[in-house]
Structure 1
Amino acid sequence: MKKLTILSLAAFLLLSCEAQKFPDNPKLVVMIAVDMFPAEILQRIEPHLKGGLKWLLNHGIHYENAHQEHANTVTGTGHFSIGSGRYPGPSGVLGNSWYVRSLGKSVNCVEDSIAKPVGGKGNARSYRQIESNTVSDWAKSKHPDSKVYTVAAKDRAAILLGGENANLAIYYNYNGTFITSDYYMEELPGWLDDFNQSLNINAYRDSVWNHSRTMELYHELATVDSFYGEVDEFNDDVYSPILPKSLNSVALEKTGDYLVSMPWFDRIVMKIAESAIINEELGKDEIVDFLGIGFSTADWIGHNHGPNSHEVLDYFFRFDAYLMNFIKTLDDLVGLEDIVFVLSSDHGAIPLPEYLSSNGIESERLDHDSFNSRIKRIIEQLGDDIIYSGNGFYFPRHFTNDQKEDALQLIKKEMIGLNALGYIFSREEILLMKGINPFNRRLKHMIHPQMSPDVILVLREYFTSRSPLGTTHGTPYNYDTHVPLIFSHINIKPARISRPVATVDIAPTIGSLLNVSIPEDVDGNSLQEISP
């Protein structure tokens, strides 16, 4: 009898240990990227979460020191790193867009000159110009029948999460329709066309965005509402300048555009994701499928109001609730035993300079008039074939090394006295940097030896290019790079990991978990807590 008890206890302990492992054969991987989600926000609101974010934390491994390890922290580079496991600069993804010398113009990171839009008016976008593939592509190499569907408001979010061989990347045209391009298919699937037909964006004009929690919570966790420095896109609205807000006073033809900046737009995105699961039968067989979801609304709200605002705080409380309903729906449709979740963000954000200044931190906005006049003087002295684009100068190909050095010194001289500007580097200086500190490392990870500008400008810490109001991102500093990273499964007990990790670790971790071949040029590492 005693022996049976010991054996039973041993079996129980074994089952308990096994229950802590992530499944190596999930039917569905759900990759969630929340646009502009500083890790600081999650830390601030965590004690007050009640829904999906809390569920992910309670059933997941939370990497509290995760960073986007590159300097130009924007949507394109961030989603690329999450999906591909590679640093964006050496891979040729320099930003949301970048100047191409051979074309004499800037191109979007998901631009496709030969594709056509499908499903409605809008931009035809695809993964065609990007050479590095994603974790879902690695899985498809092993399992050709693996299905990959992505959806987001932003085209680059959906496309960069889906990779080269996605079945369908769905994005919004800012006029009431979710579209794709013929890179993926010649016409929308019937279920998505039906969804578009039923999407009555004008029905949202009377929806009122109000505080969803007690005012005491906003007083505790946020600034005063309408803190100076915020920009209100609803200036003509009867509900402005503070919550509550609605789209009721927005011009009718602009409803589709402004709708993206309201928190319930995320519910629309979730409904499309649910429809994809149902109609494309994601997670219904033993071959792993991928669902990538980009929640872009947080970025619009964050740019306008800053991370310490009532609006951003309320957005995340609402997102928490929406996400819980979505997770419950996935349980009904697939079963949580068969789903692995990963949540992260493409970038963080700098708080409003006015907020930082009120807390004793030196912070200013870039003086664009002074900056632009200096750019003009530099070009007048160096010649019209000097191009300034994307925080950098591009020199003509015929410039000798001596000419490049003279131009660099002239640029430095002209920029003296511009308070917001912190550093001016040549491309070669950055390439030779040792990655011994985060600043150097992140700069280097943003540089391509041929495609990047010849001279790169970097703002001072706590200074921003956003002017005259609102806030932004795009620097190598921690407020822009520090993002949440959570891997979750229903059988996992909560754990927190404090060691530094990077978003480039996400793709190889999933790849290792699925036991697929990971390309040698991938920069990230498999996280041992997820896939030992």
Structure 2
Amino acid sequence: MTKKLSAFALACAMGFSVMAQQAVPRPKLVVGIVVDQMRWDYLYRYADRYEAGGFKRMMGEGFSCENTYITHLPSFTAVGHSTIYTGSVPAIHGITGNEWTDQVTGRKWYCTEDTTVQSVGTTSAAGKMSPRNLLATTITDELKLATNFRSKVVGVSLKDRASILPAGHTPDGAFWLDDSNGSFVTSSYYMNELPEWVTKFNNSKEPAALMSKPWETLYPIKTYVQSTADAESWEGTFKGETTTTFPHNMPVIYSQDRESLRATPSGNTLTLDFAKAAVAGYNLGGGTVTDFLTINCASTDYVGHQYGPNSIEIEDTYLRLDKDLSAFFSYLDQRLGKGNYLVFLSADHGVAHSVGFMQEHKIPAGLVPGGKLLAGVNSALLARFGVDKLAVSGENYHLNFDRNKIKEQKLDYDAVKKEAVMYLQQQPGVEFAVDIDNIGNSPVPEPIKSMIINGYNPKRSGAVMIIQEPGWFQGSDKGTTHGSWNTFDTHLPLLFMGWHVKHGATNAMTSMTDIAPTIAAMLHIQMPSGCVGKPVMEVYK
């Protein structure tokens, strides 16, 4: 009798254990898609030409947060990805730019640089990367923690930083493209050799196949009515080109410059094909717990920088991305079943119109000469304090000072910063210059003041920040760039689709920091360690 009772008790315990594991409903797979440099208005600018299965499907079946904004500065790639997946801001998660100057040592750091690891899958230095500079956990880390590391997490991008930072500190793998060998590679932080499925994908030589044909427009070029003419003076060119017009002779261009693939729609095709291979290779969504795949479609950024947001090239890139997304969602439907996976799509930042385009249409715009500003600041400081080169660099729209020299010369640091601010505020295109330590006394309006504070990490940010007039930026007259507080750089798409997502939209203000806590709420897991966002409750059932 005792044995029977023991057996019954064991069976009950096993049953309760299974029930406990199944008690929390979750999707098979979460897919986070960040489209690099995607302005919010691209959802509507080309809407009449999107097909049913891509962006239109996400908006027609899913939920759209129509007024989602970045709440930090600067609005750059590494910062945006880190903010989306931590639900935090640079002041807390520590990724203050794609690169920064350490304010203690003066050393310049790339955001995912790691001198303690080795490249895997290449002999180049492309794999000497890791997430160690990210100070907070990500939503992908929290999923790992919630399932005692049984969930699988994988990051995919052409860019190292856009694969590494979203995947967090604890993924099964993060992979990015090494142009030197046309292969996806990784770091010894994650593994000592590439998985077999990655080697097989690399051996297919898809980059070379994609670059074997010229880049022609998807549709007749005269139908691209949302874009400017094919050749504009403000558009950039590929190396070796003498014109910006279609077709772009990619076989010749790629043979001379392997990085050129990135600045074509084929880069997104390659990324999503590799993402499909990752789903199959790791059997994502095929286990007993939820898995997470992070994808960055980076070619939109490269094309945007080169040609600007009003070019036929950028329109063609989005029309082709739409088709690639449609094929990717169909793949997930077939593999996992429609409604069994959860997808969100957003962007790391937007982009400004090209200066030449704006000026042609009599809209205020211009270039702030970053190098000349630094030289001018140093001239003003030399005249005032008798010491040269007190300002050492100006990345991320922050001015960095030589604190050791200021201390050695027994100068008043606040007085040095005040003099720099006075000089900067007199320069064309500069709207505000702010001594961040004394920002409470600075007449900077909201939301700019809060965005500066949210982006300021005292160990990784310069002491004075430059805010340009609307339409002005530091960069080139060819193509364009991003980084400012203005809506063209900070108003983002945010779409949810799939598992337990309501169909609808909200025009309420939401933040990039709200994405991670929304996913956390839907999965019933802890928010990331530095999270400051809030769940968007309207999204889920």
When normalised by structure 2's length, the TM-score is 0.88
Q: 2 CA distance for matches of 1:505 and 1:435?
A: 25
- 2:400 aligned residue: 393
Please say if residues 85 and 507 of structure 1, whose CA atoms lie closer than 8 Å, have aligned partners that are also in contact.
yes
**Which residue of 193, 202, 223 corresponds with 1:196?**
202
1:206-256 Cα shifts (integer Å, max 9, x gaps)? 31222212445412x11222222111125526xx421221223326252x2
Q: Does 1:178 align with 2:181?
A: no
Deviation at 1:170, TM superposition (A): 0.3
Contact 1:505/1:527 (<8 A) preserved = yes
Using the TM superposition, name which of 31-40 and 421-430 deviates more. 421-430
* Correspondent of 2:464 among 437, 455, 470: 455
* Cα distance in 2 between the residues matched to 1:389 and 1:418: 15
Equivalences for residues 325-336 of structure 1 within 5 A: 325-336=327-338
**Structure-to-structure mapping, 1:370-389, within 5 angstroms:** 370-378=372-380, 380=382, 381-384=386-389, 386-389=391-394
- CA drift of 1:428 comes to 1.2
**Aligned counterpart, 1:500:** 509
Which digits, 9 at most, give the CA deviation of each residue in 1:294-341, with x for residues without a partner?
111001100011111111011000000111011111111222221000
Match of 2:129 among 104, 125, 129: 125
- Work out the CA distance in 2 between the residues paired with 1:529 and 1:415: 44
Q: What is residue 309 of structure 1 aligned with on the other side?
A: 311
Structure 1 residue ranges (4+ consecutive) displaced by more than 6 angstroms after TM superposition: 431-436
Residues 244-393 of structure 1 mapped to structure 2, 5 A cutoff = 244-250=247-253, 252-254=255-257, 256-368=258-370, 370-378=372-380, 380=382, 381-384=386-389, 386-390=391-395, 391=397, 392-393=399-400
Q: 1:201 to 1:449 in 2, by over 3 A?
A: closer
* Mapped contact 1:206–1:246 kept (Cα < 8 A): no
How far has the Cα of 1:489 moved from its partner?
A: 1.1
Equivalent residue number for residue 165 of structure 1: 170
On the 8 A contact 1:408/1:455 being kept in 2, the answer is yes
Deviation string 1:72-105 (CA, Å, 9 cap, x unpaired) is 0000100001111001123221100100133322
State the identity as a percent: 26
Residue 488 of structure 1 pairs with residue 497 of structure 2: yes
1:152 to 152, 157, 162: 157
> Could you tell me how far apart the structure 1 residues matched to 2:513 and 2:212 are?
42
Matched-pair contact (CA < 8 Å) for 2:103–2:462? no
**Aligned pair in 2 of structure 1 residues 204, 275: CA closer, same or farther (>3 Å)?**
closer
CA distance in 2, matches of 1:491, 1:140: 21
With the length of structure 1 as denominator, give the TM-score of the two structures: 0.90
Contact preservation (8 Å) 2:306, 2:479: yes
Partner of 2:245: 242
Shift of 1:478: 1.0
2:421, 2:322 → 1: CA distance? Answer: 47
Question: 2: distance between equivalents of 1:66 and 1:167?
Answer: 30
Answer with 47-56 or 310-319: which moved more: 47-56
Q: Tell me what 2:15 maps to.
A: none
Deviation at 1:408, TM superposition (A): 2.1
- Structure 2: distance between partners of 1:36 and 1:24: 34
Where 1:250 maps in the other structure, the secondary structure is: helix
Superposed displacement of residue 148, structure 1 = 0.2
Classify the secondary structure of the residue corresponding to 2:418.
Answer: helix
The 10-residue stretch of structure 1 (340-349 or 189-198) with the greater mean CA deviation from structure 2: 189-198
Q: CA separation in 1, counterparts of 2:441 and 2:510?
A: 23
Aligned length: 506
Counterpart secondary structure, 2:439: helix
Q: SS at 1:293's partner residue?
A: strand
Preserved contact between residue 49 and residue 320 of structure 1 (Cα < 8 Å): yes
Q: Which residue of 2 aligns with 1:207?
A: 213
Deviation (angstroms), 1:369 = 6.0
Residues 236, 244 of structure 2: 8 Å contact kept: no
| Comparing 27-36 and 278-287, the one that deviates more | 278-287
- Show the counterpart of 2:231: 226
Cα distance between partner residues in 1 of 2:441 and 2:59: 40
- Amino acid across the alignment from 1:180: T
Deviation at 1:204, TM superposition (A): 3.5
Deviation (angstroms), 1:442: 1.4
Contact 1:435 1:441 in 2 (8 A): no
Match of 1:17 in 2: none
Q: Which residue of 2 aligns with 1:4?
A: none
Say if 2:87 and 2:530, in contact at 8 Å, map to a contact too.
Answer: no
| Equivalent AA in structure 2 for residue 507 of structure 1 | A
Check the 8 A contact 1:174/1:257 in 2, yes or no. Answer: yes
One-letter amino acid matched to 1:270: L
CA contact (8 A) 1:439 1:477 kept: no
The superposition leaves residues 430-458 of structure 1 with CA deviations (integer Å, 9 ceiling, x where unpaired) of: 36779972222211111124432122222
Rounded to whole Å, the distance in 1 between the matches of 2:406 and 2:427 is 27
Instruction: Give me the whole-angstrom Cα distance separating, in 2, the residues matched to 1:528 and 1:436.
Output: 30
Q: Which stretches in structure 1 are left out of the alignment for 5+ residues?
A: 1-22
Q: Is the 8 A contact 1:29 1:288 kept in 2?
A: yes
Residue 135 of structure 1 pairs with residue 139 of structure 2 = yes
Corresponding residue number in structure 1 for 2:97: 95
Offset of residue 167 of structure 1: 0.9
State yes or no: 1:407 paired with 2:407: no
SS at structure 1 position matched to 2:495: strand
**Cα distance in 1 for residues equivalent to 2:363 and 2:113:** 39
- Note if contact 2:379-2:388 (Cα within 8 Å) is conserved in structure 1: no
1:8 match: none
Give me the whole-angstrom Cα distance separating, in 1, the residues matched to 2:252 and 2:530: 51
SS in 2 for 1:207: coil
Q: Structure 2 CA distance, aligned partners of 1:306 and 1:397?
A: 41
In structure 2, list runs of 5 or more residues that go unmatched: 1-23
